[in-house]
Amino acid sequence: MLLEVDRVTSGYGDTPILHDISIRVEQDEIVTVIGPNGSGKSTLLKTIFGLIRPAGGTIRFGSIDLTNMGSHRIAKTGVGYVPQLENVFPSLTVIDNLQMGAYNRKGAGGNELVKEVSDIFPVIEVKRNEKAGNLSGGERQMLAIARALVGKPQILLLDEPTASLAPNLVGEILDKLHDIRTMGTSILLVEQNAQKSLQISDRAYVLVMGKKVLEGTANEVLGNEEIGQLYLGKRGKTKRGKTKKG
């Protein structure tokens, strides 16, 4: 088992958000957590990455106990994290953003880093000297993922990488996750684009109000009638159409 979250309870101050959550990611898996707004998806990733200390339960990464470790040390164990918001430095160039992500790799030059990620995200090469703040929304998400990748993580925690992107870009970004997996990085993805993320995933969990209500292969979750009505068709469309810009 690569990552194991075992009966974790977590929240902010005295307010519990996650209740008794158990999830796992095996080597070479892409696992998705879907759930409505406010269900605790970001809280889950923050807890795994040590930004929030769990009130109960354990988190293991291979043989390493992450439960009470801070983010800085967790990053060094081989866990990469791309937050939902503010995941690049807008005033820095693309290359400099990559170098920030590779701070643990002494001597890796900017050109080398650009080369490493350009196979997956060719736009990184094209925009290498552009300020990150001048990139489009999709390009910025690609940079944020690339920045995590140059840290050479064994597992990548991705918080809604397609939020507020145009539908054609959603597929483009999610399809890249297969290339990333092929390079040896397993993925725990949190998504609002439930249908598309399930299509590229191996297994999935459904979180509602901080509780795990369903788990299974991605196909099982896709085929679940109740989940289909609640989170796939109806919710996906209204959220996209009403609240998000392209």
Ligand X SMILES: Nc1ncnc2c1ncn2[C@@H]1O[C@H](COP(=O)(O)OP(=O)(O)OP(=O)(O)O)[C@@H](O)[C@H]1O
Residues that bind Mg ion (CB under 5 A): 41-42, 84
Select from 1, 7, 12, 175 the one that contacts ligand X (CB under 6 A).
12
Which of the listed partners (Mg ion, ligand X, none) does 12 bind, with a CB threshold of 5 to 8 Å by partner kind? Answer: ligand X
Q: What angle do CA 236, 239, 244 make, to 5 degrees?
A: 125
Q: Does 193 bind ligand X (CB under 6 A)?
A: no
Token digits for 146?
């690339």
Applying CB under 6 A, the span of 35-43, 54-62, 126-134, 180-188 interacting with ligand X comes to 35-43
Q: Measure the CA–CA gap between 232 and 193, rounded to whole angstroms.
A: 8
Q: Does 42 bind ligand X (CB under 6 A)?
A: yes
Select from 2, 31, 40, 114 the one that contacts ligand X (CB under 6 A).
40
Q: Does 47 bind ligand X (CB under 6 A)?
A: no
Q: Does 37 bind ligand X (CB under 6 A)?
A: yes
Longest distance between any two alpha carbons in the chain, whole Å: 52
The residue among 58 and 84 lying less far from ligand X, judged by its C-beta, is: 84
Q: Measure the CA–CA gap between 73 and 50, rounded to whole angstroms.
A: 9
Token digits for 198?
């399930």
Smallest distance from the beta carbon of 157 to ligand X, in angstroms?
12
Applying CB under 6 A, the span of 37-45, 73-81, 94-102, 216-224 interacting with ligand X comes to 37-45
Query: Which residue of the chain is nearest Mg ion when measured via CB?
Result: 42
Q: What is the DSSP letter of 106?
A: T
Select from 35, 80, 101, 151 the one that contacts ligand X (CB under 6 A).
35
Q: Does 43 bind ligand X (CB under 6 A)?
A: yes
Residue 160's φ and ψ, nearest 5 degrees, are: 45, 60
- Angle, nearest 10°, between helix axes 94-101 and 137-149? 30
Q: Measure the CA–CA gap between 41 and 209, rounded to whole angstroms.
A: 10
